[in-house]
Structure 1
Amino acid sequence: MRKPIIAVDMDDTICHLVKRAIYHNNIEFPTHPLRYEDMMDWNTDHLRHPESTMDLFFGRPGLYEELELFDEYVVEEMEKLHNAYDVIIVTAAVPKTVLEKWNWLQKHMPYIPADNFFTCKRKHLIGYDLLIDDGPHNLLPAVQAGKKVLCIPHPWNLRAREQYSFPLMTSWEGAKERVDEILQAQGEPEL
């Protein structure tokens, strides 16, 4: 029998990307500081300094290898999920960040094999049973396709969370049990 496939995003789901990118932005552009709470969209409006770009903000060399774990529970809970389900990492990446993301994953979660590491921006094209993600542009297509989701709440998904009732996961504590419950629920609509 096939194990359910759990697709897990990396950035701002198992590690903190935006907070670290803000940290570097505020050092480089102290006259135009950014705040995590103000990151309400996935566009470039938050880059207030004229020399700041999305590529600089998210493409600083070495950025993805220095990211902090989401919380103190994520490594243990991801291992529990890995042991019970077919866990795949599905992360958006440009070619220059793929190796950094893989290195980060192997440092913190070496039990995830290379065969379970996918770089893909259009996650709805991947086959999975449940998606754990922070991006509304990934969560909504998953729900519309009849898949289960768990949303990691951040300011940039607040509007989507107000419009749709995504199940939320604010901490990785008890994540395995939460996934078990969601997968066992049959026929209940997500929205």
Structure 2
Amino acid sequence: MNKKRIAIDMDEVITDSIGRFIELYQKEFREDLSSLRLPGRNLTNTVPPERLDIVKQYPHQPDFFKDLDPIADSLKVVEQLHQRYEVFITTAALEFEHSFTPKYNWLKTHLPFITWKNIVFCGDKSIIRADYLLDDLERNLKTFTGTGLLFTAPHNAHVTGYTRLNNWQGVAAYFLD
């Protein structure tokens, strides 16, 4: 019997990229940006307009994606999913020129059971052929032909129309219970 396929995004699903924005903002401006974690917040409605262009460049820095913290329980649940499903990590590593190698190294370190054959670096996730896509961005779910699952992040708090999974315990409950 063929296993069902789950495609899982990295940034703000498995890894905490918001934490890196907060860290770099604190370092550069000596101000707290933790309000970026509040529901409904994103860079545009949180960062002062005169600093927005600078902050939007952070992911273009060579070390932005290096050593990101995993989101709570993500590593454990991905490993559990891997036991029952065919798991693919699908990430938009091509959008930021310095993200490919750090993301690949992060996956090798934190999810070594995911082989290179199950890692997809892409720009447009509509090409992904899986039964499920777990992602934090509505634009990726809109074009996906399987079942799109919205992983809760501050920037998608007001998005509706998808099954929402609020955390990795919710992901485990959806797929493993």
Q: Aligned partner of 1:87: which letter?
A: V
TM (norm. structure 2) is 0.84
Cross-structure match for 2:149? 150
- Identity %, equivalent residues: 26
Which is worse superposed, 31-40 or 110-119? 31-40
Distance in 1, matches of 2:21 and 2:112, equals 24
Cross-structure match for 1:114? 116
Distance in 1, matches of 2:43 and 2:33, equals 17
Deviation at 1:50, TM superposition (A): 6.3
Matched ranges for 1:25-104 at <5 A: 25-30=25-30, 33=33, 35-36=35-36, 37=38, 40-41=41-42, 46=47, 48=49, 49=51, 52-54=54-56, 56-71=57-72, 73-93=73-93, 94-104=96-106
Deviation at 1:43, TM superposition (A): 6.2
Deviation at 1:96, TM superposition (A): 2.0
Q: CA RMSD in A?
A: 2.6
Q: Aligned partner of 2:26: which letter?
A: N
Q: Aligned partner of 2:18: which letter?
A: V
Deviation at 1:149, TM superposition (A): 2.2
Matched position secondary structure for 1:15: coil
Distance in 2, matches of 1:33 and 1:42, equals 10
Deviation at 1:180, TM superposition (A): 5.0
Matched position secondary structure for 2:89: strand
Matched position secondary structure for 1:80: helix
Contact 2:13 2:135 in 1 (8 A): yes
**CA pair 114-64 structure 1, distance change in 2 beyond 3 A:** same
Deviation at 1:136, TM superposition (A): 0.9
Distance in 1, matches of 2:25 and 2:128, equals 33
Gaps of 5+ in 1: 182-191
Residues 61-85 of structure 1: CA distance to partner in whole angstroms, max 9, x if unpaired?
22212211110x2112101111211
Contact 2:40 2:157 in 1 (8 A): no
**CA pair 111-30 structure 1, distance change in 2 beyond 3 A:** same
Gaps of 5+ in 2: none
Residues 42-65 of structure 1: CA distance to partner in whole angstroms, max 9, x if unpaired?
7698463166052x3212222212
Contact 2:21 2:55 in 1 (8 A): no
